[in-house]
């Protein structure tokens, strides 16, 4: 199709400097297909390629539940098409003390697809967490590994079997 006009464009120049003034504009037909919402920058790991974990001595980013609820509401209020899929990410989102409530809030906000981007470590260490997250509304676990061998993936290789078992519950 031809797409939808987006009345929420943010650039005053209306694309005169495209693509350098990039933002939602009337020249581009788009909507948020999958919103990534960072709920913490804390993480157990310190992967060399990660740009978002809190390095030692750095500030912790962890929005409050009302702030997260506002983010969800803004995504669902987008016009003409509300965001319908969301990925809760971080850092390691399961380190947020209210991760189950956050997932419940996303479900209540009306997202059709709720993903959780996780290392899986907390799922392996806390076998009750996986079923709680699934019941709250997680439909997809998004996990990445440096490789399939313990040599290639030393950081969370040992937790992988327990993580996958917890995810199946």
pLDDT, tens only, 15-73: 566 655 555 555 556 678 899 999 999 998 887 777 777 778 888 899 999 999 999 99
How many domains does the chain fold into?
2
Q: Can you tell me the distance from the alpha carbon of 55 to that of 43, in angstroms, rounded to the nearest whole number? A: 9
Which CATH number belongs to the domain containing residue 154 in this structure?
A: 3.20.20.70
Three-state secondary structure call for residue 140: strand
Torsion sign across C-alpha atoms 127, 114, 102, 23: positive
Three-state secondary structure call for residue 8: coil
Q: Can you tell me the distance from the alpha carbon of 80 to that of 78, in angstroms, rounded to the nearest whole number? A: 6
Share of the chain above pLDDT 90, in %: 47
Residue 13 reports pLDDT greater than 70: no
Residues 25 and 103 in one domain: no
Q: What is the mean pLDDT of residues 158-162?
A: 73
The pLDDT of residue 143 is: 84
**Paired residues of 117 in beta bridges:** 142
Give residue 17's domain range: 1-30
| pLDDT higher at 149 or 57 | 57
Q: What is the mean pLDDT of residues 5-9?
A: 52
Residues 78 and 122 in one domain: yes
| pLDDT higher at 162 or 72 | 72
DSSP letters for 55-119: -TTSPPP---HHHHHHHHHHHHT-SSS---EEEEEES-GGGSTTHHHHHHHHHHHT-SEEEEE--
pTM above 0.85, yes or no: no
In tens, the pLDDT along 79-99 reads: 878 899 999 999 999 999 999
Residues 110 and 123 in one domain: yes
Residues 123 and 53 in one domain: yes
| Cβ contact 6:26 at 8 Å | yes
């Amino acid at each position: 199709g031809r797409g939808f006009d987006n009345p929420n464009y943010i650039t005053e120049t209306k694309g005169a400097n495209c693509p350098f003034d990039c933002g939602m504009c009337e020249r581009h037909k788009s909507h948020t297909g999958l919103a990534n919402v960072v709920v913490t920058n804390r993480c157990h790991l310190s992967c060399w390629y990660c740009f978002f974990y809190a390095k030692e001595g750095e500030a912790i980013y962890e929005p409050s539940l009302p702030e997260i609820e506002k983010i969800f509401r803004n995504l669902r209020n987008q016009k003409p098409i509300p965001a319908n899929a969301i990925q809760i990410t971080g850092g390691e989102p399961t380190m947020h003390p209210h991760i189950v409530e956050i997932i419940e809030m996303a479900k209540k906000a009306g997202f059709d697809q709720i993903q959780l981007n996780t290392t899986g470590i907390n799922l392996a260490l806390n076998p009750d967490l996986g079923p709680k997250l699934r019941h709250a509304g997680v439909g997809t676990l998004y996990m990445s590994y440096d490789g399939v061998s313990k040599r290639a993936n030393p950081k969370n290789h040992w937790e992988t079997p327990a993580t996958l078992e917890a995810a199946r519950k």
